[in-house]
Amino acid sequence: MVIAERVTFAVVGDYGVPTAGARAVAELVASWAPDFVVTVGDNNYPSGSSTTIDRAIGAHYWRFIAPYLGGYGPGADQPRFFPTLGNHDWDTQGARPYLDYFTLPGNERYYTVRWGPVQIFALDSDPREPDGVTASSRQATWFRDALAASPTCWKIVAFHHPPYSSGPHRGSDWMRWPFLTWGASIVLSGHDHTYERIERDGLPYIVNGLGGAPRYTFTTIEPGSVVRFNADFGALRVTATATETSYEFISVGGLLVDSFRLTGGCAAPLADDDFLPLVPAFSESGGGV
């Protein structure tokens, strides 16, 4: 087994448009040669249609998708693209084009994957989610149990609607789950087309919606807002080891907008068997582990 002692991944949000901004963000991400890419929703504007999905997603990120059956390139050697559903993806009934386009673990709407010292918990925050979006929903129960069972050093949560935001959408109160209490390391979201880092109750919340769709202005500043940016498009680069993760939001113009670290993770080195390569196993209850 190849032990992934260090992993680098990119996070993009609100990117699913055939624009120069979206192309620039994709080129920035590709230049980092990340191990994988996570999205925080709105992968396919304007309405999640099958007629626009490959142009919205594959044109930008074909090199990370597997299996990739679109028309822009050969695809990846294994799955390296882990999306989450946004409201625009749900605008075609049942989010069917999205579910047909990707091959993802579990029920594909919410799931989990592990890569080295990182575990990604991809959730569906849209109210049309059949298993619910409240902290007492079936989805949340699955998530809480999966977090509790996880042996990984960093438990990174990704979904579309931000619990807190200074953008025009404001916070989505239905997604204010007890993430810290349940064991999450950080919460990543999109929806507002801005970048913002908010610190609430000891947990960082990131709004990362500058993937290519038209940028938004800030409205009422959210308590705990530390960094805000909307002057250009960009993406989040994350580098993780067993004991530290670094987060850098970088604009397509090369500006380092925000940089911070989380330390702790695994207090002692893990045994080889605790470092797992990506295994997109399936389970009936939701996400693959």
Residues 6+ apart with CB under 8 A from 190: 13, 14, 39, 40, 41, 42, 86, 160, 162, 207, 208, 209, 211
The reported pLDDT for the residue numbered 284 is 29
Does residue 92 lie in a domain region? yes
The reported pLDDT for the residue numbered 28 is 98
Give pLDDT < 70 ranges for the chain.
Answer: 1-4, 267-289
The reported pLDDT for the residue numbered 245 is 97
Assign residue 115 the CATH number of its domain. 3.60.21.10
Does residue 169 lie in a domain region? yes
Residues 6+ apart with CB under 8 A from 119: 112, 113, 150, 152, 154, 155, 156
Does residue 214 lie in a domain region? yes
Query: Omega into 46 within 30° of 0, i.e. cis?
Result: yes
Alpha-carbon gap, residue 133 to 60, rounded angstroms: 29
Q: In what order do the strands lie in the sheet with 186-189?
A: 111-115, 118-122, 154-158, 186-189, 203-208, 195-200, 225-229
The alpha helices in 167-216, defined as continuous H runs, are: 179-182
Alpha-carbon gap, residue 257 to 14, rounded angstroms: 18
Using alpha carbons, list the distances in angstroms from residue 275 to 64, 78, 237: 22, 18, 21
Per-residue pLDDT of 59-69, as tens digits, reads: 999 999 999 99
Domain count of the fold of the chain = 1
Q: Which tokens is 56 given?
A: 């919205």
pLDDT averaged over the chain? 92
Does residue 284 lie in a domain region? no
Per-residue pLDDT of 190-232, as tens digits, reads: 999 999 999 999 999 999 999 999 999 999 999 999 999 999 9
Does residue 288 lie in a domain region? no
The reported pLDDT for the residue numbered 5 is 85
Does residue 188 lie in a domain region? yes
Does residue 286 lie in a domain region? no
Does residue 285 lie in a domain region? no
Structural domain that includes position 84: 7-274
Q: What three-state secondary structure class fits 115? A: strand
Q: Which amino acid, residue 252?
A: V
The reported pLDDT for the residue numbered 4 is 59
- With contact defined as beta carbons under 8 Å apart, do 5 and 125 qualify? no
